[in-house]
Structure 1
Amino acid sequence: MNLLLETIESQGPISRAGLSRVTGLSQPTVGAAIDVLVRSGLVRPVGTGESSGGRPPIMLEFNATHGFVVGIDLGGTNIKVGLTDLRGRVLCRIEEPTPKRQNGSPSAVTDAIFAAVQRAVDEAEVGWDRVLAIGVGAPGVTDPNTGTVSLAPAVGWEKAPVRRLLSERFRIPVRVDNDVNAAAMAEQAFGYGREYPNFVFVAIGTGIGAGVVINSQLYRGATYAAGELGYMVIDHSWNPADVRDFGCLESMAAAPAIARWAQQVLPGGMLEGAGMSSSCATDTATVPASGPEALFKAAEQGYEPAKQAVAKIAGYLAAALTNVAVLLDPHAIILGGGISQAGDALLNPVMERMRQLSPVVPVLRFSALGADAGLLGAAALGICEVKERSLSGE
């Protein structure tokens, strides 16, 4: 049944006979499954097609407005909440600052999420009876089976029962996963990931993480911690006591580190008037959010200190991405998060250094989804929840 739903979604409007030809399933099997899908509301008839003799066929399409989902992209800097239809089309989006960490208590952050979700639904003017599920992308080690975030330093969470808290508040199904895993799912569903059965989505923002897709399936690891790329050790002289809550790679190449490089090498005037997405920023009380974009812009314009700093950052990233490439041999590594605004000023030196380090160099490109990858990934979690429940008859 899932195959039929996917085919209708990608190729509809399509007839029952057309579905039988495309999928190889018998017409009785197709007919019985379509009856279930129509009753679920996920598929609807949309008139008739051309007849090749006899009765004109009834055409079927995916019903993207059968209901809506809420996607929550939780970051260390901002909380992004969006209401989407079942194709991931965003109807309304809200962005709020993430509250300061509360020593492991989820309450401050969850209260902010509650308010943002309610505001998104209100502004979209969609009744709660049309909201079918919530998807959450959380920054840390997340158990998708229980919806518990066991470790998320960026928001001060330890063993936070996120699914239970949200489902009790809004009384609808909730699916929770790691934020970068969710972004990888979005890239697979809506972006360049559709081209590659094996790819790694690397998000570079306040921290650094990866979503690993192998043979078109997300790989989570034995303890759901696969892809915690920020902890990859690329410098054995690194002392973890020097940087609270950050791993080796992200302490050298995530947005806070890039902003510090900018402060060190750019004159004050170069830092003014340049902004970078909050998904690639850090606490503005300590590091100006304008730094990363200003650094890359100065490097593109040929300012030598900036070029040298970018070469350092590119070297750190190239070392990590080369390790990923030789271990997994993916078709592509896709870069997302606010770092995507860096453009060729970062991409070219990373590629050049990777070619120096290894003969195994996959395609390297920025995400097609830009800063929306996390939000669309969270929405994709909610959409998966809706489809699975509908197909199982719940």
Structure 2
Amino acid sequence: MSKSRILIGSPALMRQTNARTILMLLKKLDHCSRADLVRETGMSAPTVANVVSDLNDLGLIEWIGEGTSSGGRRPDNLRFKADYGCLAGVDITADALRILVTDLNGTLIEEQYESLPKDSRNPIAVIEILRGSLKAIMQRHSLAWKKLLAMTVGVAGIINVRDGVVISVSNLNAWRDLPLLDMLKKQFSCALFVENDTNLAAIGEHFRGVAQSEESFIFVTVGSGVGAGIFVNGQIVHGSSWSAGEIGYLRIPNVSGMPPSLYEFGGLEQVVGGPGILRSWNAAGNKSGATIKVRKASDVLDLALEGNSAAQKLVLQRARLLKDVVLNLALTLNPSLFVFGGELGAHAALLEPTVEMLRKSEIAVAEVLPSSLGKSAVVWGAVAMAMRDSEQKLYRY
């Protein structure tokens, strides 16, 4: 392991930097001795001893017994106390909340999915439900409310991440131009972040999904809407006006008429998204007299897998369009991997023909994989984002 770089500065800054270096090393190694810390960091033994003493006094580390001796006295091992605090990741959809709570190492404490009553889907009601649900989770696990150190909330739509403002959500009128971060701050005292849900899904796959070894990839989600989380050189690309990855607004011949509107489904979403697929299926049925009725778009994809020729034709048309979109993204950004998620995007009926057609391309070839985190990708990405903040601030808590 390469030795950590020690910064030169004021004693307070150096002490803080050294403490953070040791904390991150303990998180990575699980446990080690003070001698190990001296060897791995390049710090002097007295410096390590002082930092360890400070961290122990703060309750951030603990002694766990003797390690293996290579001669002489057996060393005392220590480790990071992951239960010093906890993190929360939240996914707010049109009709539900998904909440994930972990310790500071990202170890699962509890994941909860909760449907939202139709009369409780406005921002104020949702935040109140979120607070109540989080408190209940923490009480079940005997966690004090002050233990919640950081939380990230994911929402569909264009998000001003810097200010925590939801600029637009095409299917939720009450969530437009919404200062969500400021509203959350009135109910929560922990560090808070707001991010686009698809971007968080990409972060989640990089954190503990199929993209852990990738530094540049694209997460494509297809559900009621269509979007992309663009992950380049270890970072999400947001764009100058926070709309990078909003591929649902891509122009589609014979579909896109007026210029894109912030408050309506985009051209691609109207065809490939769930409402568009359902609308096309119902229109075809009314025209042909077909009797198979479906409740949602995924039912159409299920029928395609079962061999229904009408469903297969409709889905194949969408796969061709999705293939072109992915190929255009590949030619523009040349990532090594595309990850498909969402209720429709990861469905075999849509994904398999899309991948089969993409294989015919001779340039900008990228691997295509379904999400390994499924419906939990957003909340795992939210936790990863909260964890990154907590790692920067731990020594100051």
Same-fold status (TM-score > 0.5):
yes
- Structure 1 pair 27–221 and aligned structure 2 pair: CA distance change class (3 A): farther
Which residue does 2:112 correspond to in 1? Answer: 93
CA positional deviation for 1:261:
4.1
Candidates 162, 177, 195, aligned match of 1:145: 162
1:224 aligns with 2:242: yes
Contact 1:85 1:91 survives alignment (8 Å): no
- For each residue in 1:140-167, what CA deviation from the matched residue of structure 2 results, as whole angstroms up to 9, or x when unmatched? 2223332222223333223322122112
- For each residue in 1:53-105, what CA deviation from the matched residue of structure 2 results, as whole angstroms up to 9, or x when unmatched? 23323333343322222322012332222333221514141312375799xx7
Q: Where do 1:153-164 residues align within 5 Å?
A: 153-156=170-173, 157-164=175-182
Which residue does 2:356 correspond to in 1? Answer: 352
Q: State how far apart, in whole Å, the 2-side matches of 1:33 and 1:246 are.
A: 54
* Range 248-257 or range 375-384, more displaced: 375-384
Amino acid at match of 1:319: D
Amino acid at match of 2:167: S
1:203 aligns with 2:208: no
Q: Where do 1:301-340 residues align within 5 Å?
A: 301-339=306-344
- For each residue in 1:158-178, what CA deviation from the matched residue of structure 2 results, as whole angstroms up to 9, or x when unmatched? 332212211211333211111
* Range 69-78 or range 330-339, more displaced: 69-78
Candidates 374, 378, 382, aligned match of 1:378: 382
1:252 aligns with 2:271: yes
Contact 2:260 2:266 survives alignment (8 Å): no
Q: State how far apart, in whole Å, the 1-side matches of 2:235 and 2:369 are.
A: 20
Number of equivalences: 371
Contact 1:70 1:134 survives alignment (8 Å): yes
1:54 aligns with 2:58: no
Contact 2:252 2:268 survives alignment (8 Å): yes
- Structure 1 pair 98–139 and aligned structure 2 pair: CA distance change class (3 A): farther
Amino acid at match of 1:131: L
Which residue does 1:276 correspond to in 2? Answer: none
Q: State how far apart, in whole Å, the 2-side matches of 1:177 and 1:35 are.
A: 37
- Structure 1 pair 149–25 and aligned structure 2 pair: CA distance change class (3 A): farther
Contact 1:75 1:155 survives alignment (8 Å): no
Candidates 169, 191, 194, aligned match of 2:209: 191
Which residue does 1:296 correspond to in 2? Answer: 301
1:78 aligns with 2:96: yes
Give SS of 1:333's match.
Answer: strand
Q: State how far apart, in whole Å, the 2-side matches of 1:318 and 1:330 are.
A: 15
Which residue does 1:285 correspond to in 2? Answer: none
- Structure 1 pair 113–206 and aligned structure 2 pair: CA distance change class (3 A): farther
Give SS of 1:326's match.
Answer: helix
Give SS of 1:153's match.
Answer: coil
Amino acid at match of 1:185: I
Q: State how far apart, in whole Å, the 1-side matches of 2:291 and 2:52 are.
A: 64
Q: Structure 1: which 5+ runs fail to align?
A: 272-287
* Range 12-21 or range 365-374, more displaced: 12-21
Q: State how far apart, in whole Å, the 2-side matches of 1:117 and 1:390 are.
A: 22
Contact 2:341 2:374 survives alignment (8 Å): yes
Q: State how far apart, in whole Å, the 2-side matches of 1:382 and 1:252 are.
A: 35
- For each residue in 1:273-320, what CA deviation from the matched residue of structure 2 results, as whole angstroms up to 9, or x when unmatched? xxxxxxxxxxxxxxx23x31x322322232222211111111121111
- For each residue in 1:116-160, what CA deviation from the matched residue of structure 2 results, as whole angstroms up to 9, or x when unmatched? 444444555533122222211121222333222222333322332
Which residue does 1:177 correspond to in 2? Answer: 195
* Range 351-360 or range 71-80, more displaced: 351-360
- For each residue in 1:355-380, what CA deviation from the matched residue of structure 2 results, as whole angstroms up to 9, or x when unmatched? 34552121100111111011222222
Give SS of 1:170's match.
Answer: coil
Give SS of 1:364's match.
Answer: strand
- Structure 1 pair 258–62 and aligned structure 2 pair: CA distance change class (3 A): farther
- Structure 1 pair 300–120 and aligned structure 2 pair: CA distance change class (3 A): same
CA positional deviation for 1:35:
5.1
Q: State how far apart, in whole Å, the 1-side matches of 2:177 and 2:81 are.
A: 37
Amino acid at match of 1:326: L
Amino acid at match of 2:163: T
Q: State how far apart, in whole Å, the 2-side matches of 1:107 and 1:346 are.
A: 37
1:129 aligns with 2:133: no
* Range 25-34 or range 126-135, more displaced: 25-34
Give SS of 2:243's match.
Answer: coil
Q: State how far apart, in whole Å, the 2-side matches of 1:206 and 1:169 are.
A: 30
Give SS of 2:79's match.
Answer: strand
- Structure 1 pair 263–390 and aligned structure 2 pair: CA distance change class (3 A): same
Q: State how far apart, in whole Å, the 1-side matches of 2:320 and 2:343 are.
A: 19
- Structure 1 pair 125–338 and aligned structure 2 pair: CA distance change class (3 A): farther
Amino acid at match of 1:355: R
Q: Structure 2: which 5+ runs fail to align?
A: 1-16
Q: State how far apart, in whole Å, the 2-side matches of 1:124 and 1:270 are.
A: 44
Contact 2:223 2:345 survives alignment (8 Å): no
Task: State the Cα RMSD in Å.
Answer: 3.1
Give SS of 2:379's match.
Answer: helix
- Structure 1 pair 138–88 and aligned structure 2 pair: CA distance change class (3 A): farther
CA positional deviation for 1:50:
0.4
Which residue does 1:281 correspond to in 2? Answer: none
